[in-house]
Structure 1
Amino acid sequence: MDTIPKTASASTNSSTDQRNGQTWDTEAYAINGRFVANLASDVVALLAAQAGEHILDLGCGDGVLTEQLAATGAVLTGVDNSSTMLAAARRRNLHVEQHNATALPYHQQFDAVFSNAALHWITGLSGHNSALAGVYRSLRSGGRFVAEMGGHGNIAAIRTALQATLAPFQIDAEAASASFFPSPTLYRRLLETTGFTVQSIELIPRPTPLPTGMESWLNTFRNGVLNRLNVANRATALANTIALLEPMLRDADGNWMADYVRLRFHATK
């Protein structure tokens, strides 16, 4: 039951989040994670971007949604902490900057801040308090913060399976992944404590098809946990996790589903 330290991939297409060892490979993400942007139509509609508005896309990734928002005529600035994701966004001719979400440098520069599937990667209450304070400072008076993230109960079956299969290797999968999936009550409190007025906030169950399967999802979105294992133990953990999940998340035709639950909100300064 050997483990190995978290290390960054040698690929020029990947970078590692030092908080949880999660590696973002742009090619793998484009293949296995494109559904994240494809299923964002409701939160994009809630933002209702207008031509001429200055909008910050927080956690812009490879810029797929940033590009979509810029097509409205809004002036977009994308922010991410992954250098490889930002390189992919720049290939789309987008204006992007590298900053940690907990240390945003902006002051009353934006009419809106938008975020999709990024905030749940910020660790703990203190991290979210810092991020929300930075978003608040970034907005002009009357500006809006529209976001969607993993919410309470998100990927519960997957997380439970990982916890069970990694326990024999002395790995706490929940602690290692360091994800943050809050309830609407908790996140409303964080937003209001920061100074925001919450216009709407809701928890949305969204079972999500995984076109490339569960193993590809695990290797893309939970590699920071799995990379703690040596090659043989990683293969064992993957096989055991998939076996546990198959009765719940794979249908009779062999199609995989992830038990996503999203938290979507609209708050104003």
Structure 2
Amino acid sequence: MSEAPASTSRWDAAAYAAAGSFVPALGAAALDLLAPQPGERILDVGCGDGVLTEQIAFRGADVVGIDADPSMVAAAKERGLDVRLGSAETMAFAPNFDAAFSNAALHWMLARERVAANILAALKGGGRFAGEMGGEGNIARLQAALDEEMIVRGYAPPIEAHNWYPSVEEFAAVYEAAGFAEIDARLIERPTPVPGGIAAWVPTFRKGWLDRAGVPEDERAALAEGTAERFGSHPADYVRLRFIMRKPH
């Protein structure tokens, strides 16, 4: 699930499907929180390759996905889904949606206030927004291992943030300011084994980080292996922020 702001690189849908299959697989709890109903019109924000978008459609909803990455959009369209290429930071849907959903995408969207306002604008009065994203403390140990390995190899980690991993309070403040009400958000520690291990995770999920640090493509496999050795056999230290809220009538 992705939205690539200007500071990150584009995704490779095939590589994501291989290394990131756990992301939609572990999105079931957020999807259950959304509880899509037959006939509802639902917006999937940062839909990625459409795995969960497809599940929303299977439940009988009329779902529209939006994602900023052309490779992901192409993969989602291959599933026969109605998916639009565009950024949540600039989208301008009419208020025709009964609900909105987002899984593992909001933390890539650094213009958080604009995203919140645009999601609110797309909902009917009383419409709900449910989903999950990285929360405070997400992959802190894994990111530290990667940055240490980069420094050892002569590369300076980027200074500017790559993701937004908010606390519950910070997240709620952004969405309250946008106009949402009845916000229920909570942090969930979820140690996560990743397919292929950390060495497969690094070049897929930190591609933009490595791009910005100027790490050549032919050095990334070795850097990823070094990061995996430094991090050890632990599962990735994921922390999720799961939420549901409503647009007032």
- Settle same-fold status: TM greater than 0.5: yes
Label 1:24 to 1:40 Cα distance change in 2 as closer, same or farther (>3 A).
Answer: same
CA contact (8 A) 1:57 1:66 kept: yes
2:216 aligns with 230
CA contact (8 A) 1:86 1:96 kept: yes
- Structure-2 separation of matches of 1:16 and 1:205: 23
How many residues of Structure 1 are paired with residues of Structure 2 in the alignment? Answer: 243
Label 1:237 to 1:41 Cα distance change in 2 as closer, same or farther (>3 A).
Answer: same
- Structure-2 separation of matches of 1:262 and 1:18: 21
Correspondence for 2:190 among 197, 206, 221: 206
CA contact (8 A) 2:36 2:61 kept: yes
Label 1:108 to 1:32 Cα distance change in 2 as closer, same or farther (>3 A).
Answer: same
- Structure-2 separation of matches of 1:162 and 1:198: 38
1:28-71 deviation per Cα after TM superposition (whole angstroms, max 9, x unaligned): 11111011000111111100100110000001111110110001
SS state at 2:196 partner:
coil
1:5 aligns with none
CA root-mean-square deviation: 1.9
1:193-242 deviation per Cα after TM superposition (whole angstroms, max 9, x unaligned): 11101341100000111121111000110011223212465355334322
2:130 is the alignment partner of 1:152: no
2:71 aligns with 84
TM-score computed with the length of structure 2 as normaliser: 0.92
1:38 aligns with 25
CA contact (8 A) 2:3 2:68 kept: no
**How far off its partner does 1:101 sit?**
1.1
**Unmatched tracts of structure 1, length 5 or more:** 1-14, 251-255
- Structure-2 separation of matches of 1:43 and 1:117: 10
**Unmatched tracts of structure 2, length 5 or more:** none
Correspondence for 2:235 among 239, 248, 257: 257
SS state at 1:24 partner:
coil
User: Percent of counterpart pairs with the same letter?
Assistant: 41
**How far off its partner does 1:98 sit?**
1.1
Letter in 1 for 2:73: L
Correspondence for 1:171 among 142, 156, 161: 156
CA contact (8 A) 1:166 1:173 kept: no
**How far off its partner does 1:173 sit?**
4.1
- Structure-1 separation of matches of 2:158 and 2:143: 7
Structure 1 range deviating more: 181-190 or 196-205: 196-205
Letter in 1 for 2:172: R
Label 1:174 to 1:265 Cα distance change in 2 as closer, same or farther (>3 A).
Answer: farther
Letter in 1 for 2:49: D
